[in-house]
Amino acid sequence: MSDDDEIIEKYVCSKCIGDEYLSQQVEAAGDENQCSYCDETGPCITIGELSDRFEVVFEQHFVRTETEPSGFEYTMSKEFGWERPGEPTAFRIAETAQVDEVIADDVQSVLADRYADFDSAAMGEETEYDSEAQYEESPANDVEFQANWREFEKGLKSRARYFSHQADATLGMVFGGLSSLSTWQGHPVIREIGPGASLLKLHRTRVFQSDEKLKQALENPERWIGSPASEFAVAGRMNARGISTFYGASDKETAINEVRPPVGSRAVTAEFEILRPLKVLDVEILKSIYIAGSLFDPEYAGHLERKKFLGRLADRITMPIMPDDEAVDYLVTQAMAEYLAERVEPPLDGILYRSAQGGETSFNVALFNKAARVEARTLPPGSKTSVELYEQNEDGWEENYTIWEEVPEATSPPPPSSSGPDFAAILAGSSFRDDDDREVALRLDRSTLRLQHISGVTISTSERTIFQHQTEPYSAVDDADSPF
């Protein structure tokens, strides 16, 4: 029996393996034997069987690095030197399975013998699993997730927009188990905002280009500055036309930038208090989620692929969409938002995502329809509201924005009428005249109402060179003398 045959038949017990998943696998399915490394008797597998498992792990999760620097690396090495990236084969084995270096050396020896090549050895070339070989972690491959997502997008845009089984399956694959995802520091992807949380209010802006509409909005800002009524809700990044959604921002400047007001227009800004705890998906956290697991778990590679795709998707959600593409590209994020609002557990109230129009710390929050209701302002029956935009003084007319509320003096309530309640009087004192049964989630802070005159817009650019070349036109005659 050769030395390699002897190594292959050595036994390693579950207690000598630190990787929890692999140790449990050996504990459950290993044969009762005496461990060749600790001499204890218990469930064991052979080094040959352990090497089989490592062969799969290396194929899925590691890549052997180049033995020589690339052209650019070689040039840089003249000044800074060069060190081959990665870690030795035995180190990767010991680290991955959390085993003693003696066990790791035996596994490395078995793998190297399997992939030994006489011609390579004769030329001094390195082969897989050589003791001097270096390995680094290979990036997760999310090709399958990307392909499914592309089909999902294509289906929404060109085939079945409603009741799509494919869309439901794809979104389930991507967003299933969201509540269990977090960063390695423990920051969950589902974040709570509102009372008791760090985010207590949201800023919102509406743009007006006529006195008539501005006046209407100031007469009832809860309705016209808050989330729009269904009949006025236009399609947005996270909502289809007719679905009222509240879009807020982390600060006033971001809220203004997000609506892209034209020069010469006027914008009303205000703060809205979040009245009840709301659960939102923090898109930025998707870029840095931590997936704990074992490389020996056949499902772990899929989890890593999903992690990579979620990071890509986070960038996609925050990417600016050109006005010409909004009608089509919004279909994807709208479907995603509806799925998050209705199908995940726990159901979400909104999405928090980085603003494409603000700085690194600026963000937006889109509150889904069920969490987009603004508390109505209730005035006594008979109250009247009026708005002045201008006032006249000795120099003529000048702007003066004032909301007047005429409230009748408090009087004793009239005796009950046999004809029933006065519904007209009840409705007259309410800011909203609908049958909205959603729970109130937001309250306008009227003291923060401000009017912004848009006097200019600053454009940030990053310049690129346009290269220009002249070539002679292609001619078949040029190929006549060519031997190819």
Model confidence at 417: pLDDT above 60: no
Residue 45 within a domain: yes
Torsion of CA 120, 124, 129, 131, to 10 degrees: 160
**Amino acid (1-letter code) at residue 468:** Q
Most confident of 31-40, 394-403, 461-470: 31-40
Q: What is the average per-residue pLDDT within 464-479? A: 73
d(CA 11, CA 17) in angstroms, rounded, equals: 12
Element (DSSP H or E) covering residue 62: strand 62-64
- Cβ atoms of 234 and 426 within 8 Å: the answer is no
211: pLDDT confidence band, cut at 50, 70 and 90?
Answer: very high
- Cβ atoms of 206 and 268 within 8 Å: the answer is yes
Which tens digit of pLDDT belongs to each residue from 316-355? 888 766 555 445 567 788 888 888 998 888 889 999 998 8
Edge-first strand order for the sheet with 190-193 is 190-193, 278-282, 350-354, 363-367, 246-249, 201-208, 266-274, 442-453
Whether 115 and 201 share a structural domain: no
Residue 116 within a domain: yes
Among 72-76, 215-219, 354-358, whose mean pLDDT is lowest?
72-76
Determine the number of helices (DSSP H) and then strands (DSSP E) in the chain.
15, 16
Model confidence at 127: pLDDT above 60: yes
Number of neighbours of residue 154 by Cβ within 10 angstroms: 11
Whether 133 and 146 share a structural domain: no
Whether 106 and 147 share a structural domain: no
Whether 100 and 77 share a structural domain: yes
236: pLDDT confidence band, cut at 50, 70 and 90?
Answer: confident
Amino acid 424: pLDDT: 47
Structure tokens at 293: 């697991």
* Helices (H), ranges, 237-323: 252-258, 300-318
Longest dimension (CA), the chain: 113
Amino acid 426: pLDDT: 45
Which tens digit of pLDDT belongs to each residue from 2-18? 557 789 999 999 999 99
Last-in-domain residue among 116, 137, 158: 137
Measured CA to CA in angstroms, residue 178 lies from 60, 175, 338 at distances of 25, 6, 15
Whether 151 and 249 share a structural domain: yes
Give the global pTM. 0.76
Domains contained in the chain, number:
2
Amino acid 36: pLDDT: 96
Which tens digit of pLDDT belongs to each residue from 268-292? 999 999 999 999 999 999 999 999 9
- Cβ atoms of 364 and 411 within 8 Å: the answer is no
Q: Which residues pair with 351 in a beta bridge?
A: 281, 366
Q: What is the average per-residue pLDDT within 378-400? A: 85
**Amino acid (1-letter code) at residue 102:** V
Q: Who wins on pLDDT, 326 or 251?
A: 251
Q: What is the average per-residue pLDDT within 73-77? A: 72
Amino acid 414: pLDDT: 58
Among 217-226, 299-308, 475-484, whose mean pLDDT is lowest?
475-484
Buried-state track 283-298, b at ≥16 Cβ within 10 A, e below 16: bbbbbbbeeeebbbbe
Number of neighbours of residue 271 by Cβ within 10 angstroms: 21
Model confidence at 428: pLDDT above 60: no
Last-in-domain residue among 137, 158, 185: 137
Whether 184 and 201 share a structural domain: yes
Whether 151 and 116 share a structural domain: no
Residue 21 within a domain: yes
Residue 17 within a domain: yes
Last-in-domain residue among 114, 137, 160: 137
